[in-house]
Structure 1
Amino acid sequence: MRDLVELVASRIGQLDIAANNAGIEGAFSPVEDISVETYRSVFDTNVLGVVLGMKYQLKAMKRQGFGSIVNLSSIGGQVGFPTSAVYAASKHAVEGLTKSAALEVASLCIRVNAVAPGPTESPMFDRLADYGMTKDALAGIIPAKRAGSPAELAQAIPILSSDRESFVTGHTLAVDGGYLAQ
């Protein structure tokens, strides 16, 4: 991540916007069946990836005196999901990191926000069938009665990063078809 941030800064001259988007769901299992390996894998990807991204992104943004970071969380960062405790816990951690970092740099013209997608058409969404969950059943619990598209999710990042939203920091924007409104 350090090398990537340095490459961007050297080629473009500054890092205006950064989005941290990496995630794995881990094995679907009850809490008592969670292995240390699953925990480490999920937290190393979903949480440590965000920590390392922000570590170097914030250093670059502090040098230039402005910037915007958007971390990808999940609706699982705001609610629990049966048999997905480690995933939900990791996304709760992403939201805690987002809020804490936002408070640390708010006075420096650097904003840190998160996007919390609901079910979105993706390879991760496709793998749910491997765990006995059909796409139709999952989409059925969403008030919009469908999964979101990657394009719908992606549009939230420039919205939160826009200069028009310069007073928004520490916020998580749900892109979830109304799921969290229930």
Structure 2
Amino acid sequence: MKRFLPYLSFALLYALLAGILLVGYESRAADDKPAYKQPTNPEPQVSLVPLAPGGGEPIAQTSAEGRKLQEDPAAIEKGKALYSAMNCVGCHANGGGGMGPALMDNIWIYGGSIENIAASIREGRPNGMPSFRGFLPDEQVWEVAAFVRSLSVPVPGTASDTKQAK
């Protein structure tokens, strides 16, 4: 028995050290896990805050004007011409997206109502959407917003409605 005593004490010391290392490793692995839980809803959260690039207060929105224009085929056609003239096509293509997000689906980062679209056009948005405040009068902002809205919700009697019917 005395012959095995040094080996036994060495085995106990080895087991004690292995236990300490294992406890340290487990606590380190717990620290590496994220402290938050991923949301179960994959839909992005919409932040509807009034943005004002370059300072100044955002211009108040008139929802009655926008709602009136979103149903007007003539205003939508004017908005389509402005969409091209202001080079919206450069980022959003013809609504299918490109460098900018697609406008023909129902996924709207900043909200898909006519008011939210007009605010995005007028005030701009982070990560690339420029502000057209000062470049387009309010009436034209609403016309572009009406056209953009018609890309995902066609209005009867407009070019986007007949294009989708084919």
TM-score interval w.r.t. the shorter chain? Answer: under 0.3
Larger radius of gyration: 2
Which gives a bigger RCO, structure 1 or 2 (Cα 8 Å, sep 6+)? Answer: 2
* Bigger share in strand: 1
The two structures have a TM-score, normalised by structure 1, of 0.23
The two structures have a TM-score, normalised by structure 2, of 0.24
